[in-house]
Structure 1
Amino acid sequence: MTSMDAGVAAVLGAAVGVVGTLGTAMLTYAAARRQARDVGAVEHGHWLRERRHERYLAFLDGLDAWDRALDLIWEPLHEYRSDPIAGRARFLAALEPLQDRCDELTKLQERVSLVGPVGAANAAEETWRSYRVLFDLVHHAVFHEEPYPEEAVAKVLKRNRAVATAFRESSRKIMETPPTPTR
């Protein structure tokens, strides 16, 4: 019976070896799969970070273009306020580039919303809305030949600066945070 005991021991030893090898293979497979998933998540995080960077900068460039177009309406606005009949045509012409910038800002804000995250998307939308309110105030007064809403415009200009600063801060914070793998 000792030869049988040695045979059983050899089979049991081989079985333990096979189970150990299979266990090690499964653990190696799980670790490799987890590592591939983590690498994929980090790579996606880098890709998304680059898209966010591009969209945030484009939105900020859009705000700068808006501000330049806005600067061009003040002189025609002064003429319009001094003589609404004579200054109206020039002021309406000066509003066209501002309308174009407003339309462009809408597109840029939507692109920021696509790449997120929610904080930056909300800040971009709030900024866009505030800039749009300013355009609508001025545009409405001229088209409906109403008095220029000076106090309302001053309040909205102040708000525009505040919301643009909030967007800059939000986007900066997001860009300073390194991407991490999701668990």
Structure 2
Amino acid sequence: MDQGLAAVIAGVAGMVGALGGAVAGGLAAVRGARVGAVTGAQALRDQVKDQAATEHAHWLREQRRAAYTLFISAAQLAQEKAMNFAVDPSDDNMDELHDAVADLASLSGSITLIGPESIQRSADRVIEAAGILEGALYATPRRDEGLPQISEESSGAYNLFFGLRTTFVSEARAVLGAV
């Protein structure tokens, strides 16, 4: 074999090797780019899901905070109207107490929607206690002198209502993450 032919064979072999290496390198680069793109897309998808979950949790917490605040304010108003009626059992105070208890009960629907169930049960207990307090105060005999007339039953009903309202506040704070 002469040197020229050997050089040509070596050149062709080198070129085939270089081409093979280039093709293999190109395929590896394409595969790497594809894996990188898939990994990047998955990471982006996960980030979007996490962000959506965080935003939903924040939205839900704010909705709960608003509903719980309205409920607590209505419970405080009912408590105030109960005390007003106990001190002055006039028809006007009776109507105001009834309206306050009805308003309190009407707010339970929004709490039912946003939950959780433990808060709904707590709200239901507060509403039930408000109804018991209202009934106990209505059943208390009125005095003509206008002096407060508070029976043992209405005093117990008031304490029950106040205790359950306080429990609701504590449970609401726990749900909202407040200490």
* TM-score, normalization by structure 1: 0.76
The amino acid of 2:114's aligned partner reads: V
Among 38, 57, 61, which residue is 2:69 paired with? 57
Q: Secondary structure at the match of 2:107?
A: helix
Which residue of the partner structure matches residue 173 of structure 2? Answer: 172
Which residue of the partner structure matches residue 123 of structure 1? Answer: 122
Superposition RMSD on alpha carbons, in Å?
Answer: 2.3
Shift of 1:36: 0.9
> Matches of residues 61-140 of structure 1 in structure 2 within 5 Å?
61-77=73-89, 91-139=90-138
Which residue of the partner structure matches residue 163 of structure 2? Answer: 162
Summarize deviations over 1:134-153 as a string: whole Å, max 9, x none: 223444678xxxxx994433
Which residue of the partner structure matches residue 31 of structure 2? Answer: 19
Shift of 1:41: 1.0
Summarize deviations over 1:92-122 as a string: whole Å, max 9, x none: 4432111111111012122122222222222
The amino acid of 2:18's aligned partner reads: A
Alignment check: 8 A CA contact 1:58 1:108 kept: yes
Tell me the matched-pair count: 159
Summarize deviations over 1:26-85 as a string: whole Å, max 9, x none: 1111111111111111111111111111111111110111012112211444xxxxxxxx
Taking only the aligned residue pairs, the percentage that are identical comes to: 22
> Matches of residues 144-159 of structure 1 in structure 2 within 5 Å?
150-159=151-160
Which residue of the partner structure matches residue 16 of structure 2? Answer: 4
* TM-score, normalization by structure 2: 0.77
Alignment check: 8 A CA contact 2:129 2:161 kept: yes
Look at both structures and tell me which one has the larger radius of gyration over its CA atoms: 2
| Greater relative contact order (Cα < 8 A, sep 6+) | 1
Query: How far apart are the structure 2 equivalents of 1:45 and 1:24?
Result: 31
Is 1:44–2:56 an aligned residue pair?
yes
Q: Secondary structure at the match of 1:73?
A: helix
Query: Please, which runs of 5 or more residues in structure 1 have no aligned partner?
Result: 78-90, 143-147, 178-183
Query: How far apart are the structure 2 equivalents of 1:141 and 1:157?
Result: 13
